Amino acid sequence: MLPQTMENRISRTFDRKQDRLLNIYFTAGYPKLHDTVPLLQALTEAGADLIEIGMPFSDPLADGPVIQQSSSVALANGMNLYVLFEQLKEIRATVPDTPVLLMGYLNPIMQFGMENFCREAAAAGVDGVILPDLPLLEYEDEYQVIFEKYGLQPVFLITPQTAPERIRHMDTLTNAFLYLVSGPGTTGSANTQAAGTQEAYFERIAGMNLRNPRLIGFGIGDKASFDHASHYANGAIIGSAFIRALEDAPDAPAAAKQFVSSILH
């Protein structure tokens, strides 16, 4: 079990605020290669509480069509981990307190080297990492030591099928938050479960009295779904809907501010 008191930007954020935390995901290098940092700044200024930056991958298994598309565009724009870390070098000068997490898939990081990746991420002021295809066991066996060495928090996904003992185990391995996947489906997919199913799942997890706060993601896309999710957790994560809002925007940072405002106000 990790020390409960370990300080990081993520836990400080949740100490300050427990309700309606808005976590926005976007793909690095989308819509334009150098939009990454301006978007990060705009989202923070507009009131997003946490930011997830997607590291584009050619074969994003857990993602729906919108993030598949933004990933392809970002890769075509020339995004890769070297470019991303170069872009993120100075972010803490302008975005001092907002937690920044990197989300992506294992293979590009394996080629970059996990230790190199963690060192660069920590040096840039990244707080946490979400790798959906990194299994719990592999994390503990091979990578936990490296994450801890660089003070990075892992974020684990929970689904309606995740066994309670497994959730409790994940809860001991992080001081960030637990990522509740809203239901069966890839990112951006609508809730097709029978009425009440999703709510019962959210309540079941809430009732477990876990150490870590909870954010709900997948299929959250507007004020109504954000408010609904926030009722059952500490807040929610929006990705695909935000990417869609950037799609044809002439000014991506302006569109970002407008989007955040539409969720929070």
Partner 1 sequence: MATISSTPSAYAPSARGYYGEFGGAFIPEMLYPNVEELRDQYIQILADPAFQAEQQALLRDYVGRPTPLFEAKRLSAKYGTRIFLKREDLCHTGAHKVNNTVGQILLARRLGKTRIIAETGAGQHGVATATVCALMGMECIVYMGKTDTERQRPNVERMRLLGAKVVAVTSGSQTLKDATNEAIRDWISNPVDTHYIIGSVVGPHPYPDLVARLQSIISEEMRTQLQEKIGRELPDYVVACVGGGSNAAGAFYHFLDEPSVQLVAVEAAGKGINSGHSAATSVLGTPGVIHGSRTLLMQDEHGQITEPYSLSAGLDYPGIGPLHAHLGSSGRARFISIEDEDALRAVAELSRLEGIIPALETAHALAALGQLGAGPEEVVVINLSGRGDKDLDTYMKYAEALNSYA
Catalytic residues: 52, 63
The least CB distance from residue 195 to partner 1, in Å, is: 17
Q: What is the total count of residues that contact partner 1 (CB under 8 A)?
A: 39
| C-alpha span between 10 and 61 (Å, rounded) | 27
Structure tokens at 233: 């957790």
Cβ nearer to partner 1, comparing 166 with 211: 166
**Is residue 18 near partner 1 by the rule CB under 8 A?**
no
Structure tokens at 243: 């990417």
**Is residue 133 near partner 1 by the rule CB under 8 A?**
yes
Structure tokens at 18: 């427990």
Task: Encode 52-101 in three state secondary structure.
Answer: EEECCCCCCCCCCHHHHHHHHHHHHCCCCHHHHHHHHCCHHHHCCCCCEE
The number of beta carbons lying within 10 Å of the beta carbon of residue 252 is 20
Cβ nearer to partner 1, comparing 191 with 262: 191
User: Which of 48, 6, 28, 40 lies closest to 235 in space, CA to CA?
Assistant: 48
Give the contact letters, 148-187, x = binds to partner 1 (CB under 8 A), - = no: --------xxxx-xxx--x--------------x--xxx-
Q: Among 59, 86, 199, 222, which residue interacts with partner 1 (rule: CB under 8 A)? A: 59
**Is residue 61 near partner 1 by the rule CB under 8 A?**
yes
Using CB under 8 A, list all residues that contact partner 1. 57-59, 61-62, 64-65, 68, 75, 80-82, 105-112, 132-135, 137-138, 156-159, 161-163, 166, 181, 184-186, 189
